[in-house]
Amino acid sequence: MKIYTKTGDSGETGLIGGERVGKDSLRISAIGEVDELNALIGVVRAIDASFPLDGLLEKIQGWLFEAGAEFASPNESRFATVGQSAIDALEASIDEQERDLPELKNFILPGGNLLAAHLHLARSVCRRVERTSLCLHREEPVRYELRVFFNRLADWLFIGARTANHLSNVEEVNWKRGL
**pLDDT tens sequence across 14-61:** 777 878 877 888 999 999 999 999 999 999 999 999 999 999 999 999
CA distances from 110 to 119, 123, 155, 162, 171 (A): 9, 10, 13, 9, 12
- DSSP letter at 177? T
Whether 178 has a pLDDT exceeding 90, the answer reads: no
d(CA 62, CA 82): 10
Domain membership flag for residue 15:
no
Domain membership flag for residue 103:
no
- Based on C-alpha coordinates, what's the Rg of the chain? 18
3-state secondary structure of 150: helix
pLDDT confidence of residue 49: 93
Q: How many domains does the chain have?
A: 1
Can you count the helices (H) and strands (E) in the chain?
5, 2
The length of the chain, given as a count of residues? 179
CATH number at residue 155: 1.20.1200.10
Domain membership flag for residue 174:
no
Domain membership flag for residue 71:
yes
pLDDT confidence of residue 11: 81
**Tens of pLDDT along 87-138?**
999 999 999 999 999 999 999 999 999 999 999 999 999 999 999 999 999 9
Domain membership flag for residue 115:
yes
Domain membership flag for residue 158:
yes
Domain membership flag for residue 118:
yes
Domain that holds residue 143: 21-89+108-167
Domain membership flag for residue 9:
no
Q: Is 126 left (phi over 0), alpha (psi -120 to 50) or beta?
A: alpha
